[in-house]
Structure formats: structure tokens, C-alpha cells
A and B are shown apart, each in its own frame.
Chain A
């Protein structure tokens, strides 16, 4: 396949979940939105630092996130067939081997404490639900969000 596919299996997040919950579980909507907002921020920085000639390879970036139990991931993808050779003038290192992983790692480091705090908040909500005879995680999974994803993304991008 031409292009690059960069999956990040976020085992550090899964370990946070297991440590707090006692076993793997789905991420809630609020947790998934944090996952998404920071992935979006990483991709925005990648695109803004990408050298542009025709803009085809810069525009080829996309991403997905997963918050499933035991499968918490970021996946970045660019299927432009020469993207693995794109580099900046004066530096032969392909961006997908240096710049892109560095940007992703930096945003991962920024995300972990925020997501960790949300995971602890979720566990507190699960405990509160169970204490009042609720369904615990199922109730929390269906709870309405207090922050819209668009606002969260803009807030993360603004730092």
C-alpha cells in the first residue's frame, strides 16, 4: 500500500483504566472526546508544519480514534503515494520518521494527565451511580456531556 498508516496503541491509557477500574472498560464519551481533541491537535500541528508544494501530501492526512475496551488507539493515515519521502529542504530525514512521531509523542504527553484525571472522574461517577442503585458504567456511558467537542478541540488547540 502506498502512503503511511501510523497506528498508536495507547497501552499507557489502557493501564490507567485498569488501575482505576480494576479491569479494561470502554472509554466514556467525555474520555473519547479528550482522545479525539488531542489527536486533532497533533494532526493540525503536523499539517501546519508540513512543507507545501502542491499541498497534496499535506491534505492527505486523516485520523481516527478508538475508545474500545483493550483497544484504545490513535490512527494517523496519509495515503498519498510519495508521502513517506517528503522532507524539508536541507534535511533528508523523511518527516514521517522524525517530525510526525515527535509531534504525536508531544501531544500524547500533554493528553495523558488530562485523560487520567477524566478516567478518575469517571470512576467516581460509576461508584456514585452504583451507590444509588444505578447501573454504574452503563449509566455513565449514556450521560450527557457538559462540554461540546468543538469547544474542547478549540481549547486544546489554544493551549
Chain B
């Protein structure tokens, strides 16, 4: 059984922000509605996966009446569809029920040292993100075939998961 732990290093208080970018160099327009729907469908799947993964905590030492699933409830996401790129930004800014401070970047399973958000995001990259990239690339390809001359699509991507200090991205 796993548990969420105290901050491993006192004074380090951090949120989690994960950004993944699907880059379509050469398209230079925002996503069309049909393409955005594909992106939003995968966003929902990824968020549901993260929330389903973010369970099973033992809450060692936490009194029976104290809040549980605080960080589980705090996952939020936004997509943005700028020219030439589609960006999925996922964030968790949970605050400790006693301290009122952020802590999610330090949460890990009992017996492990790797932060759980890194473990969960690695699972997303292995299982869900390739399908997002493939489906979105295919949708963009379809719209190009319908609406204009063929262009070469570079379906590149970048992704990063960071621990954001207070006062950071917002």
C-alpha cells in the first residue's frame, strides 16, 4: 500500500505543471474545430487517467476525519491551439490541508523516491500520448486534403514536466 509523504526537503514548496506540445510546423494556423475536438477528447482521456492513477494512498498518520484525495481533486488542464502548435497544459496546485502550502511535486509512493507525477506522466507518454499525436496528425492531414494543396506535416512533439515554485506560471 502506498502513501503520500511529508515534504522530503523542508522549505521546498512546489506545484506541478506538465506541458506537452504537438508541433505542426508548416501548418501555421490554429486548429480547426474538428481537430480541436480530437485534441479535447484525448485531453479528457489523459486527465481521467491521471485522476484514476492518483488513488490508493494510505494516508499514514492522517486522522480519520482529516481530508483525503485533496491533490486528486486538484488536477486541472487547459488546451491552447496557437499557430503551428497545439499545447496541453496540466497543473496540480493542491494545498496541504494543514499547512496551506503546495506539496504535490514531492508526493511519492511508499518505498519509492521518484515523484508520483513523473511516474504517472511517464505512463501517459507510453500509453496515451502517441495516440493523441497520431489522431491529431491524421485529422490535420484530412483537413488539408479537403481544404487545399498538400503540405508536408511534421508531427513533432515536445513535452516537459516541471515543478513550479509559487508565483510561477498562472
Q: A29-B55, A68-B67 are known contacts. Are A59 and B78 too (CB-CB below 8 A)?
A: yes
Quick check: A36 and B76 within 8 Å, CB to CB?
no
A52 at interface by CB-CB < 8 Å: yes
**B residues apposed to A, CB below 8 Å:** 30-31, 33, 36, 40, 44-45, 47-49, 51-52, 55-56, 64-65, 67-70, 72-81, 170
Give Cα A54–Cα B82 distance, bound, in whole angstroms.
9
Quick check: B55 and A64 within 8 Å, CB to CB?
no
CB-CB < 8 A to A149: which residues of B? 48, 51-52
Quick check: A150 and B49 within 8 Å, CB to CB?
yes
A-B contact pairs, 7 of them (CB 8 A): A32-B73, A56-B80, A64-B74, A79-B170, A148-B52, A149-B52, A150-B49
Which of B51, B69, B72, B81 makes the CB contact (< 8 A) with A59? Answer: B81
Quick check: A59 and B79 within 8 Å, CB to CB?
yes
CB-CB < 8 A to A26: which residues of B? 67-69
Q: A32-B69, A33-B51 are in contact. List 20 more A-B contacts (CB 8 A).
A: A36-B51, A40-B44, A40-B47, A44-B40, A47-B40, A56-B80, A59-B79, A59-B81, A62-B77, A64-B73, A65-B73, A69-B65, A79-B170, A138-B64, A141-B68, A145-B52, A149-B48, A149-B51, A150-B45, A152-B48
B69 → A minimal CB distance (Å): 7
Give Cα A149–Cα B44 distance, bound, in whole angstroms.
9
- Mask for A28-65, Cβ within 8 A of B = 1, else 0? 01001100100010001001000010111001111111
Closest Cβ neighbor of B86 among chain A residues: A59
CB-CB < 8 A to B69: which residues of A? 26, 29, 32, 67, 141
CB-CB < 8 A to B40: which residues of A? 44, 47
Q: A26-B69, A29-B55, A32-B69 are known contacts. Are A153 and B76 too (CB-CB below 8 A)?
A: no
